[in-house]
Amino acid sequence: MPTRRSFLRTVAGGIALANAGVMARRARAELPQGTVDSAVRDTLPGKQPLIKRSFRPPNYESPVQYLDDVITPNDRFFVRWHLSNIPHIDADSWRLHVGGEAAERGFELTMDQLKHDFEPVELVAVCQCAGNRRGFSEPHVPGVEWGYGAMGNARWKGARLKDILARAGLKKDAVEIAFNGSDRAPLEGTPVFAKSIPAWKAMDENTLIAYEMNGAPLPHWNGFPARIVVPGWTATYWMKQVVSIRALSQPLASFWMNTAYRIPKGKFPIIDRFTSQESETTTPITEILVSSLMTNVGDGRRFAADQPVLIKGIAWDGGYGIRAVDVSVDEGRSWQSAELGENHGKYSFRTWQFTYVPRAAGRVSVMARASNSQGTSQPSELIFNGAGYHNNVVQTIVIDIV
């Protein structure tokens, strides 16, 4: 009879924290028992069954097999909200308020104006929760205990944020661009979910106000009618149901900027820094770290000796581009190159595959490690932090050869 632990392995695969060099021992990370117990499939309207992590607010991750293709279908895309009151918005009545003290003028946009007054832009980009894989932190940390699936890759269509800001007349003293959405907490006193990004990031040609996802209107659960898309950066900045954009001459002061979503300063290999929000010891989380995931093979799978085993997966990073994916079948003593799939853009998942022919019966550890064009590779050991962010440790699965 399947156990709760074997069910989780089927859904989310396995993970190992391997020692550097010759990895003779395998330190396996496990999700907390409460997370294992709650890892059940549940269906939201318009979605295929997802792994429910919480219901209020709704936080649902995609099973690993949903990530097997380079584009994640809308009905299989993960769901992440911070506040539980999420209104159903009519696109015709939606308004986007643009202004702020660092803008020359304020104005409102309707959905029709957003679509027709500005050049439409499309790009493929990974949307990944900053806490993806938090559940594998050792020791365990508080927060939504995500497995591997708090992410997805989609083709986003919308208007460039810089074009909207040009109409507002961005002043020279603009430091940050702040966003607010429509979601609210049921209890008074709960901090409004407000975020900001540096003005220079807002002016990047790839930062969008998106109204389509994979050729269709945004799903309600993913931010309909419009959301911010910040390619290469973690999804905390991808404001859903955006209704307000403000140009600020001073850094935004809010719980979600000054307390939440922060990492120890200098601990991670970050290039894009959010300096206006840095303190002496911490800095806001920004870009996605280089990572990879095996999507078609999980722990405990059985294969016959002398028969080819096809291992497939995806790799991604913060927009520098995947240079290589290497696979080891001997606990990290040697590595072989995987074959990379089509390049759908620097912010997209990059598929890869590797064929392994086992010659003898036994247990085999399979490891996958991605590297990007900056020369950065996945670490062999977890870079621990108290919020469980940036877990991009090399993944390991164990298969049985019979």
Global pTM reads 0.90
Which residue's structure tokens are 């078609």?
Answer: 296
Structural domains of the chain, with CATH: 96-120+153-284 (3.90.420.10), 291-401 (2.60.40.650)
Tokens found for residue 34? 């409460």
At residue 330, the pLDDT reads: 94
From the CB of residue 289, how many other CB atoms can be counted at a distance below 10 Å?
Answer: 23
The string of pLDDT tens digits covering residues 122-179 is 999 999 999 999 999 999 999 999 999 999 999 999 999 999 999 999 999 999 999 9
pLDDT for residue 31: 59
Place of tokens 């095996």: 294
pLDDT of the residue at 189? 86
CA distance 75 to 48: 5
All residue ranges of the chain with pLDDT < 50 are 1-28
Give the pLDDT confidence score for residue 43 in this predicted structure: 87
Question: Closest by alpha carbon to 233, among 121, 382, 130?
Answer: 130
The three-class DSSP label of residue 11 is: helix
Angle at 259 between CA 106 and CA 238, to 5 degrees: 50
Phi, psi (deg, nearest 5) at residue 109: -125, 140
Specify whether the CB–CB gap between 357 and 350 falls below 8 A.
no
Tokens of 163: 């074009």
pLDDT at residue 200 in the model: 98
Contact 233, 271 (CB under 8 A): no
pLDDT per residue as tens digits for the range 254-289: 999 999 999 999 999 999 999 999 999 999 999 999
Rounded Cα distance between 309 and 139, Å, is: 34
C-alpha count within 13 angstroms, C-beta hemisphere, residue 115 = 11
The predicted structure's pLDDT at residue 302: 96
E runs forming strands in 182-308: 194-198, 208-213, 216-217, 227-229, 242-248, 262-264, 282-284, 291-294, 302-303
